[in-house]
Chain A
Amino acid sequence: MTTATDIAEAQLKMPVRRDPGVERRLFHRTLKPLIGTPVNAVITLVCLWIMWLGVKGAYGWLVTRAVTEGGAQACKVGQGACWPYYEAKLRFMVFGVYPYDEHWRVALAMILFLGAIAISMIPRFWSGKLLVFWAFVIMATGVLISGGVLGLSYVPTTQWSGLPLSFLLSAVGLALGFPLGVVLALARSSKLPAIRVIAIVFIEVIRGVPLISILFMASVMLPLFMPSGITVDKLLRAQIAIIIFAAAYIAEAVRGGLQAIPRGQHEAASAMGLHYWQSMRFVVLPQALKIAIPPLVNISIGFFQDTTLVTIIGLLDFLSTVRTAMTDPNWVGIAVLEGYVFAAVVFLVFSYGMGAYSRFLERRMRLGYD
């Protein structure tokens, strides 16, 4: 007698019939793009070869051939990465000529600053309170780095250097360049011809010349334009140049946002009885700035990298301290690649992080969460 159980058992013993399409689909999805045509197969082979070379080279340099013990002499003989160099020079590369015993202050300031940036990146925290929080962060980092109060020893700006200086230059440049840029963007789309022309000339001149020329202006020409007896700190001069440069680029990003706002919004604001500044403040700018966020983040990435140019006018930014570390008499000519690789990795991590964040924002906007 056959029961349902027998049938079920018989079915279990039958050879498994697989979906006939599985293998074909596997082939189509994964293998065909790789070896579908002869040309593609060759491309795949070449790519694999390049990747193999890259991985082998990096692994050999970082691990197998690396010099892990000994000093400069061992590294001079060795063919790979020089880890003792990092041990000896890491703090100098990061903090530069900032007084050695006070490094904890800049380190703390940097943690505070990066933490504040991380918090500001989370959309949930976007509110007016964030500005108050930032005011506190700026004051705290200022006190920590500069000192002179609360029993902290005073550190002159000539000793501010390394990665903190790079962060400072780009962050202050963007923070102060932003309001200036918004004003410039408004001026450029103003109905008053004189104001529009002033804004256009300012923006286009700044965008038409290299950052170096503006840094040169700030470092060489600005002192001549000051009344006699007044000298401006070198760091401050470079900072002014970066703010002005940032403002011109931010102005263009904001203008793009302004142009995307339909006329109806302006007209509706006027109809509500709002005057120019009110309609900008409450109706137009909130929408325009939201649209401008992704290009603004891209500008920020660019500026973080562009601050390296201050090394040309003699400020000790991060790239500059990395290069100075190489010229240490004990290490000169030994750890060139090590220094640049370290600097490149630091820049890569921060820039890629910001870029990923910008893509996240764009996706979020496309999905209409804002």
Chain B
Amino acid sequence: MPADSMSVTRLLYNLRFRAILYQVLAVGSIVLLGLYLFSNVSQKLAEQNIATGFGYLSREAGFVISQTMIDYKPTDTYGRAILAGIVNTVWVSAWSVVLASILGLVVGIARLSRNPLLALLAFLYVEALRNVPLLLYLFLWYALIVTTLPAVREAWEVLPHVFVSNSGLTVPSLIWTRAHTIIIVALVLGGVLAVVLHRRMTAERIRTGKDRTTWPWVAFALLIPPVLAFLIMQPEFAVSLPEKGRFRLTGGSQLTPEFTALLIGLALSASAGIAEIVRSGILSVRKGQWEASRALGLRDGLTMRLIVLPQALRVIIPPLTSSYLSLFKNSSLAIAIGYPDLVMVSNTTMNQTGQAIEGIAIFMLVYLGLSIAISLFMNWYNSRVALKER
């Protein structure tokens, strides 16, 4: 008997055994918890007569989405409605990222300006945006747009055929046809060709040491596909001009107040964070770099562009990634002001079908997937700008 308990004690003090024991306990308790929750859920669902599975995705949705980037009508399926929501989320996030990056770069540089007034203004901008919740700003921008702008009937015509009213900004739009899409594709193709050609020719130049002009060839590669596509497709450039009717504006395309408020809110709040990131990135570049650059005779603007920013980028990219990711996740606040993003469409779907688990699972997976995609892309970009050490 004592020998037995001895061996048990010895086993318990064996580090290998303990490591395995801990892991088995951890995994086991999680599995047990999962099983327990699963049994609760299936019992509840059976009691409340809630359907399960993703079959509802192919049923008719029957609700209206106020604005979509892809074709969607209430007779389409839930799956298509959710897809429209995803596209809306990506659309507003993408534009916000662009706006926020430009604003953030400008404000971040302004904060370091030697002009004290400019630096002060940039400081106030950043603090005012960082210390007040984004949701409050969204409500505020939305309220300002809806209450202070005139009704559609009295829409301001700020430029010819550009109307501002409390139902948004209405601008002339091109009537889009297949021919236009093909030309855009050709333009992208030309761009890719030009980049490839430029790389090849630069490599050739470095290898042979012969200085040949490359730009006419590159320009040629860039322009040929779109020009060809243009000549073949013969597109029509019909423009839809918004006109002020008696009660509403007809024609043109519209930026809704929801979209505008969300865009401004997301872009401004992210730009404050980005400004701080840019500032610390620039400060991380050593003073000697500035001095050396000045000694070479470069002006401040050129020093910033050619010497400091490329080095600062290495410090900037990793936190910038998390800043973009949080902007993307914050776009889910759209539901608060009624922009039909993924969360809002999923919410409507859940209310109609009662299938909360599936609905939440879908949008969590989409966010997770897109978050991972963004961080992979930014990691790839980071590895490109990172210092290449021998």
User: Does B244 make an interface contact (CB < 8 A)?
Assistant: no
Q: Which residue of chain B has its CB nearest to the CB of A346?
A: B132
A224–B360 touching, CB < 8 Å: no
Q: Looking at B43, B117, B363, which has the most chain A CB atoms within 10 Å of its CB?
A: B117
Counting CB contacts under 8 A, is A212 at the interface?
yes
Q: Are B117 and A48 in contact (CB under 8 A)?
A: yes
In the docked arrangement, what's the CA distance between A335 and B297, Å?
Answer: 57
A308 touching B133 in the complex, CB below 8 Å, given contacts A194-B27, A217-B360 = yes
Are B114's CB and A309's CB within 8 A?
A: no
Q: Which residue of A lies closest to B45 (CB)?
A: A224
A221 to B343 alpha-carbon distance, docked (Å): 15
A305 closest partner in B (C-beta): B133
- Chain A residues contacting B44 (CB-CB under 8 Å) are 224, 228
Return the CB mask of B24-55 against A: 1 if under 8 Å, else 0: 10110010000001001101110100000000
Which residue of A195, A333, A340 is within 8 Å of B136 (Cβ)?
A340
Which residues of the other chain, A, contact B115 by a CB distance below 8 angstroms?
33-34, 40, 43-44, 47
Per the 8 Å Cβ criterion, residues 190-218 of A in contact with B are 191-195, 198, 205, 208-213, 216-217
Indicate whether B302 reaches chain A with its CB closer than 8 angstroms. no
A198-B27, A213-B332, A225-B40 known; A51 and B117 CB under 8 Å?
yes
B45 cross-chain contacts in A, Cβ below 8 A: 224
Min Cβ gap B309→A in Å is: 19
Alpha-carbon separation in the docked complex, A40 to B301 (Å): 13
Interface residue SS majority, chain A: helix
- Chain A residue contacts of B336, Cβ below 8 A: 311-312
Cα–Cα, bound, A210→B136 (Å): 17
Given the known inter-chain contacts A43-B115, A220-B356, please indicate yes or no for A308 contacting B135, CB distance below 8 A: yes
Residues of chain B lying within 8 A (CB to CB) of residue A221? 356-357, 360
Which B125-183 residues have C-beta < 8 A from chain A?
127-128, 130-136, 139-140, 143-144, 147
Interface residues in A233-289 (C-beta closer than 8 Å to B): none
- Chain B, 89-103, contact with A by CB distance < 8 Å: what is the 0/1 string? 000000000000000
The CA of A198 and the CA of B27, in the complex, are separated in Å by 8
Q: Which chain B positions have C-beta within 8 A of A209?
A: 329, 364, 367-368, 371
Can you name the residue of chain B whose Cβ is closest to the Cβ of A252? B322
Task: State which of A87-95, A134-142, A347-355 sits at the interface with chain B.
Answer: A347-355
A210/B332 in contact, CB under 8 A: yes
As a 0/1 sequence over residues 107 to 125 of chain B, the CB contacts with chain A under 8 angstroms (1 = contact) are 0000001111110110000
Q: Which residues of B contact A315 (CB under 8 A)?
A: none
The interface size bin for chain A is 35 or more
- Give chain A residues whose Cβ lies under 8 Å from the Cβ of B30: 198
Q: Is B350 an interface residue (CB 8 A)?
A: yes
A34-B115, A48-B117, A50-B121 as given contacts; A213 in contact with B131, CB under 8 Å: no
Flag if B368 contacts A205 (CB, 8 Å): yes
Cβ contact within 8 Å between B37 and A225 = yes
State whether B131 touches A348 (Cβ < 8 A): yes
User: A337 — which chain B residues lie within 8 A by C-beta?
Assistant: 140, 143-144
B237: CB under 8 A from chain A? no
B65 in contact (CB, < 8 A)? no
Q: Is the CB of B356 within 8 A of A33?
A: no
Q: Is the pair B147, A348 in contact by a Cβ cutoff of 8 Å?
A: no
**B255 interface hit (Cβ, 8 Å):** no
Chain B residues in 8 Å Cβ range of A50:
121
B131 near A355 with CB under 8 A, answer yes
Q: A192 near B332 (CB under 8 angstroms)?
A: no
Residues of A within 8 A of B364 (CB): 205, 209, 213, 217
26 A-B pairs with CB atoms under 8 Å apart are A33-B116, A34-B115, A34-B116, A34-B117, A44-B115, A44-B117, A50-B121, A194-B26, A194-B27, A195-B23, A195-B26, A208-B372, A209-B367, A210-B332, A213-B343, A213-B367, A216-B347, A221-B356, A224-B356, A224-B357, A306-B133, A309-B135, A323-B139, A343-B136, A348-B127, A348-B131
Residues of A bordering B, CB below 8 Å:
33-34, 40, 43-44, 47-48, 50-51, 191-195, 198, 205, 208-213, 216-217, 220-221, 224-228, 301, 305-306, 308-309, 311-312, 319, 323, 333, 336-337, 340, 343-344, 347-348, 351-352, 355
Closest 8 A-B residue pairs measured CB to CB?
Answer: A351-B131, A194-B23, A305-B133, A47-B117, A210-B329, A210-B332, A208-B371, A220-B356
